[in-house]
Structure 1
Amino acid sequence: MTCAKYRSMVLATVALIGLPALAQETQEQSPPDPQTAALLERIEQLEAELADLRGEVLQSAETASKAEATAQDAVDRIAEVQDQTSPGPAYAVSPGMPDTKWHLAGYADVGFVGGDTSGPDSFVSGKFNPSFHFQYKDFLLFEGEFEYATTGDGETESELEYSQIDLVLNDHAVLVVGKYLSPIGQFQERLHPSWINKVQGAPAGFGHDGVQPASDTGVQLRGSIPAGVTRLTYALAVGNGPRTTSEGGVELMGMGSDDNSNKSIGGRIGFFPMPALEVGGSYLTARVDGIMNPDMPVPSGSGLPLDARFQLWGVDAAYTKGPLAARFEYLKSERGKLFTATDEEPDGVLLPDLEMEAWYGQVSYRLSGFSDSEIIHRLEPVVRYGEFSISGHPELEEENAQNRLNAGLNYWLAPTIVAKAGLEWRDYTVPGVPDETLIQFQLGYGF
């Protein structure tokens, strides 16, 4: 309703306040003549129009009130969705440093593991992994993550998962320096946080003592390049690389310093044949030294291999569209013969070729399109199967070589909060090692 119309209504209201009294007084004094009768008829018409105008005013006020309430409800709903979907608080400007912004994120989990296993049924406190991000303008970012976990005897373990500086060179290249999550494969770099991982725990061969590197320390160049209708992604890294463990295996963790002058070279290249599908390939090569006993030096000219070539390669694929997510990863590593001191052979032993091979396939489906029930919409069944084989290290093979099947059901309390329930069947491939069946529950929260 326009201002002019409201003004006319007010003037009409004021004018009509005295008209009924004037008409009554005129009727009581004398019979109405034709002119007075016409005036009385006009007054009745104005009273009717005034009643209509009053109705319009009341209706407009009610409509405006409802519109305001609807708008406020929409604002509240948007704020609620933003709170649920945001992985953490918005970047905050550091006091006194207007060009620097910081951000806190991370994840935590708690759970239960029981069943037909060698150990007792236990509640597990899981992990607390806060990560920090400090950004300077739009070209430099520092990011780091800590992991805190409670051991079986009640002590607290802490570890620096990664600590790196990212320098944005252009729209297609970022230079990474420091300790970073390994770009080899997909699981460790992209999927290991408990609120992202669909299953409690890593696939066989992709966790501790596995074939996939967890991290490295060095320099990395990564980014993406448009290629026609598709896009290529790349990560090329040079780092300290793996080293020999005291058990005679290979440690694939980022070290603060190197034990030889040789550096690892590797990375991953991926491409998207279609928007929902990514296919990638990874490769890593390095030389690892044996551990020398200073009290038992190896004679020169002995011909014993004091270092060996380590190579790793793999392929992976991920299809994610709507409620469906399907993944596949394959990795294989080889280390040549190596003379080294071990816990069992402190004077040194010649280790044979070591080969490790691991793969897994996983499918999950969110039931968001089934039924009208809000509970059904939040459910997500998941199945994962994988195999891990080892040759050249009997002790490592006995502890870890297995075929593993996981079946679980996830319930999403919020976009970053998930409750998991699942079963895990471990079929150990070394004769004499009993199989295990695990019952697992976990609550994961990403913030």
Structure 2
Amino acid sequence: MPFHLSRRRFLEASALTFGSQLLGQVPGDRPRQDAAVKVLNPRARVPVSIIIDDSTCLVNLNKFAIPQFAVANPGRYDHYPWKSWPDEIPDSFVRKFADWATENGVKGKYSIVPFPACVGRLDREIPGWSQRELQDSIKLVRERLMPNWDIHPEMVTHTRIIDTKTGHPYPEISPCFMENWDWCNGRSADEIADYMSYALTILKNIGLPCEGITTPGGFGSKARPQLAQATFESCRSVFKAEIPHYFRDLYDKGGQSVAPIVQNASGLDSDDPHCVVHVLGCTGDWSGGWDCVTPKGADAFITADGKSGRMVEVIQRGEPAIIVCHWTGIYWNGLEIGFEIFREVVKRLHATFDHLHWMKLSEIARYWAAKELTRIEFDTAKRAVTLMAPFACEEFTLAVPATVGVPESLTEVDSRLKLKPGMWCREKDATLLCFKMVKGVSTINFKA
């Protein structure tokens, strides 16, 4: 299904991509929003989340990936003792992690690589494990992780490119035929979408629905407009996702915004609005890495006194603070080094801040799409705010001038920390509203 995006605009963006990685972003349409009304973060809190890469069922992905990387890049990976690493990251550890995350309200994204390092396809068999073990592992992800974690394919294998017509890896093992490197260069959105759809279909076959995609390594880094369009086309085609999203980039230092980027917006007044959201991480992998290196530790995210660290910087400026890590480093060959770091990081975050809001990437993507693409009109004479929303949003939160009066049909609370859908609170110069915004036209009326 194509975007409602002119071919000329798409080609102009494609040409710019090779000059700057950010120039490949195509915002698309934007509606008018009255300057007197400000869209706040959901529930006037700061979204936080964790992105977990390189995860799958049973297979310790990078134990099997490194020898394939080594063939594609001779000499670069010779120092890794991968033969000594365990074949499996056991389901007992998945259960342990899921229990901790649920108890602490932690949410995020968890990759399921569909054909991990070419070991086997999750919808068929994984040599070395029984069918019962594989089915139990998939069921564990579905029942224990999916309520609080988005599932993404991290392309197909995270190593070699698969010929989608044969289901086999291409015979050439080089950067041009590895997912992590150069395969996307010069390819069309349709070609990339076909490849993504192959990955998504494997997960559909095992009952793991997806609204988004994670790119392995440098996948798509030099084909950014095509990557965004391919994400939209594949997630819409396979899962009918209303707001497809993807994770490709992170900024682990500096003042560069890490807010989600809403791209290729079109058809906002139609019954079938389109957009895709690029969700950004804000940290490096400082908890053990994909390759089980010595980690920087919890202080890189947040110090024990809660006064510094990358998460503190981003939270203080009010942007979504999304940690990036790898499942192989969380498990760390059974030593659980990364997991211990995350427990400490979350403990410190909760001790330092009282206004965090743990969210899945799909929830963050939906909120940002609603935030940027909803037309907002403010009629001071009629004391009314009218919203024309292309997408529904559960916790839409606005600040309006306090002089407009009291919102009808909402319940007052005495603090922004108590805001939930259906509630409002007073502040010095503004009235804050939180409500379930429906798709289409709705009006909030105020009384003096």
The TM tier, using the shorter chain, reads under 0.3
Rg bigger for which structure? 1
TM-score under structure 2 normalisation?
Answer: 0.26
TM-score under structure 1 normalisation?
Answer: 0.26
Structure ranking higher on relative contact order (CA contacts 8 Å, 6+ apart)? 2
Which is helix-richer, 1 or 2?
A: 2
